Amino acid sequence: MAAEHHETPDAETLANVVETGLHEGAIVTLQAECEVEYDGRTSGYLGPGDRLLVCKPDGTLLVHQPDGHKPVNWMPAGGTVSARESDGDLVVVARRVNPRERVEVRLIEAYGVTRYDADDAAEYEESGTEDEMHAYIEAHPDELEEGLRVVEHERETKYGFIDFFATDSEGNPVVVEVKRIQATLNHFDQLKRYVSLYEDNDEVRGMLVAPSASERVRRALRDSGLEFVELAEFDRDATGTTDAKLSDF
Amino acid sequence: MAAEHHETPDAETLANVVETGLHEGAIVTLQAECEVEYDGRTSGYLGPGDRLLVCKPDGTLLVHQPDGHKPVNWMPAGGTVSARESDGDLVVVARRVNPRERVEVRLIEAYGVTRYDADDAAEYEESGTEDEMHAYIEAHPDELEEGLRVVEHERETKYGFIDFFATDSEGNPVVVEVKRIQATLNHFDQLKRYVSLYEDNDEVRGMLVAPSASERVRRALRDSGLEFVELAEFDRDATGTTDAKLSDF
């Protein structure tokens, strides 16, 4: 069970889930009415209210109010998060030494706590913009297929913009969807949706263009009679930055 | 029930919890294996892994990996978060218009989802540092009590530093704990711990000094024979910034 939830836990259960969970490498999230104090570069106080707490095994603590993407209080990785009982309440404390600071959360009423044994080795891979790739394709349609001719760049449809509406050497229409990142099933869905707009034309083809694609995506495309074109020039180098620049071509 | 949790929800349940929850003003958190793509100023892809997703009714989406205080992907308030089924998977999409960007999360396996109807009107109140208040008290111990004399500033003990170790006009020891923010039960706990170090001395007194305190904290102090001293000069003005500066005195 990757996620184990306890409803309206008592202070003892809470302390146990927080301490054991973090120690064993799990993420612990709590829904609770609480008050928060911060002490460090300044001092601060947040009166009682319902908040979401996220505790990570690396010492991260996030206190989220119902609005906004920034936590109202937080502590970065590097310190420790611990829990103790005090007068029947649970107190969660995150602290670090350099700089010396402390966030202390007193739980007035706990609605739920979840221990989440998350396994994640993936790293975010950033690529350049799709605009660069569009410009390249517009200038070199032959790179996708010999004889391909761009009829319209960004054709508006009821499902949004088709990246390229093209024709092949036989004159058949080709719907081209371009992705700057490894192709996903979402991209397959999108191409399929666009191609369906022309389904009264038997000869219409659909082409997903991306630096790479998993076998799962390639299979989904094949099974639907759609094609994948790998533009490896836009694949990434080992450092995680993009290799290809427009000026390279 | 403020927090309603579903274990290993199917795509239909997930879509319903996300859509209905956000529409009705709840925070929705998901534990799931997922892949993420970002499209906007750049493009990016995060391969499959276990993540915590936080969706807020204001359009905020946070994707958290097991480490670090920053979400790996996020969208600020102002846009929309929606959920749709695709090939039996749930896809959560956060988008906004200006700038035009989009985070798309495909859930490969959902371990849990929690709808959290959080009620929180509190605002974080930041104060200056405690150092300012310490300097003021050291210069004006009479402001705490007529005849009070500071024996030691920051006396080290096995429980940490006592802010001031003082004596009253009768020569009895006084443990003084100073807080720059409204006094909380945590501060009461702390003072009680320090005073317990001197419990073989019947005459020892404990004094919590802060700009204000709730009736709950005042009662806890009274019940334990401890005292509260309000240093209202360090209270805050209506705009939420601190009124008192050292130079005011």
Per-residue HEC secondary structure of B233-245 comes to HHCECCCCCECCC
Q: Which pLDDT value is given to residue B128?
A: 77
- A120–B50: do the CB atoms touch at under 8 Å? yes
Residue B109's pLDDT band (cuts 50, 70, 90): very high
Higher pLDDT, B117 or B125: B117
Contacts of B128 in chain A (CB under 8 A): 42-43
Would you say residue B125 lies in a domain?
A: no
- Helix, coil or strand: residue A17: helix
Chain A partners of B24 at a C-beta cutoff of 8 Å? none
In this predicted structure, what is the pLDDT of residue A237? Answer: 38
Tell me if B121 is assigned to some domain. Answer: no
Domain boundary among A116, A148, A170: A116
- Cβ–Cβ gap A31/B3 under 8 Å: yes
Q: pLDDT band at residue B132, thresholds of 50, 70 and 90? A: confident
- Pure H helices in B33-120: none
Interface contact flag, B185 A89, Cβ < 8 Å = yes
Most B-contacting residue of A119, A132, A186, A192 (CB-CB within 10 A), to test interface: A186
Residue A123 maps to a domain: no
pLDDT tens readout for residues B59-72: 999 999 999 999 99
Same domain, A148 and A112: no
CA-to-CA distance for A1 and A22, rounded, in angstroms? Answer: 16
Interface probe, candidates B124, B208, B231, chain A, greatest A C-beta count within 10 A: B124
Q: Say yes or no: A89 and A199 in one domain.
A: no
- Which of B95, B163, B186, B188 has the most A C-beta neighbours within 10 Å, making it the best mutation to test the interface with A? B186
Q: Dmax over Cα atoms in chain A, in whole Å?
A: 80
pLDDT band (50, 70, 90) for residue A201: confident
* B122–A47 CB contact, under 8 Å: yes
- Residue in chain B lying closest to A91 (CA): B186
Around Cβ A70, how many Cβ atoms within 10 Å?
15
Q: Using the beta-carbon criterion (under 8 Å), do A77 and B67 form an inter-chain contact?
A: yes
**Could you tell me if residue B123 is inside a domain?**
no
Residue ranges making up the domain that contains A228? 130-248
CB contact under 8 A, A69 and B91: no
Tell me, what's the pLDDT at B89? 87
In this structure, are B111 and B220 located in the same domain? Answer: no
Residues near B175 by Cβ (< 8 Å), separated by ≥ 6?
A: B162, B164, B165, B166, B191, B194, B195, B198, B204, B205, B206, B207
Angle at the Cα of B155 from the Cα atoms of B149 and B158, rounded to 5 degrees: 140
Q: What is the distance, to the nearest Å, from the Cα of residue A186 to the centroid of all Cα atoms in its chain?
A: 13
pLDDT band, very low/low/confident/very high, at B124 (cuts 50, 70, 90)? very high
CATH of the domain at A203: 3.40.1350.10
Pairing of strands B125-127, B101-116: unpaired
Same domain, yes or no: B14 and B40: yes
pLDDT tens figures, A218-234: 999 999 999 999 987 77
Higher pLDDT, B200 or B76: B76
Mean pLDDT of B82-89: 86
Instruction: Please give the residue of chain B at the shortest CA–CA distance from A49.
Output: B120
Q: Between A120, A130, A186, which is nearest B104 by CB?
A: A186
Structure token digits, residue A125: 């891979």
Residue where a domain stops, chosen among B57, B84, B116: B116
Whether residue B78 sits in one domain with residue B9: yes
Q: Are residues A175 and A110 located together in one domain of the fold? A: no
Per the CB < 8 Å rule, is A3 touching B1? Answer: no
| CATH code for position A102 | 2.70.180.20
Contact B111 A39 (CB under 8 A): no
Give residue-wise pLDDT tens across range B179-230: 988 899 999 999 999 999 998 887 999 999 999 999 999 999 999 999 999 9
- Residue B203 carries which side chain, given as an amino acid letter? E
Chain B environment of A62 (Cβ under 8 Å): 69
Q: Confidence class of residue B238 from pLDDT cuts 50, 70 and 90?
A: very low
Q: What is the mean pLDDT of chain A?
A: 90
Q: Do A5 and B87 touch (CB under 8 A)?
A: no
Tell me A88's DSSP state.
Answer: T
Q: Which one has a higher pLDDT value, A141 or B1?
A: A141
**Chain A contact set for B5 (CB, 8 A):** 5, 7, 112, 114
Q: What is the pLDDT of residue A87?
A: 74
The answer to whether B135 and B167 have CB atoms below 8 angstroms apart is no
Nearest CA in chain B to A93: B186
For A239, other C-beta atoms within 10 Å of its C-beta total: 7
Please state the rounded mean pLDDT for residues A113-131.
91
Q: Residue B237: pLDDT band by 50, 70, 90 thresholds?
A: very low
Q: Do A43 and B86 touch (CB under 8 A)?
A: no
Identify the pLDDT of residue A124. Answer: 93
Does the pLDDT of residue A245 top 70, yes or no?
no
Instruction: Assess if residue A124 is contained within a domain.
Output: no
Identify the CA nearest to A77 among candidates B230, B70, B217, B168.
Answer: B70
Q: Are residues B72 and B44 in the same domain?
A: yes
Considering only A60-69, A231-240, B45-54, B212-221, which range has the smallest mean pLDDT?
Answer: A231-240
Same domain, yes or no: A135 and A92: no
A238 Ramachandran zone, left/alpha/beta (phi>0; psi -120 to 50): alpha
Mean pLDDT of all residues in B121-136? 87
Of A55, A88, A116, the one marking the end of a domain is A116
A30 is a domain residue = yes
Output A198-202 pairs: Cβ under 8 A, ≥24 positions apart: A198/A173, A201/A173
Residues from chain B contacting residue A5 (CB–CB below 8 Å): 5, 7, 112, 114
How far is it, in rounded angstroms, from Cα B64 to Cα B77? Answer: 17
Residue range A30-47: mean pLDDT, rounded: 93
pLDDT for the residue numbered B236: 57
Is B129's pLDDT higher than 90? no
Same domain, A229 and A203: yes
Q: B135 with B188, same domain?
A: yes
Q: Is the pLDDT of residue B134 over 70?
A: yes
Asked if residue A166 belongs to a domain, the reply is: yes
Asked if residue A125 is part of any domain, the answer here is no
> What domain count does chain B have?
2
Answer yes or no: do B87 and B160 share one domain.
Answer: no
**CB distance B43–A128 less than 8 Å?**
yes
- C-alpha to C-alpha distance for A79 and A77, rounded to whole angstroms: 6
Shared-domain flag, residues A111 and A11: yes
User: What pLDDT shows up at residue B51?
Assistant: 98
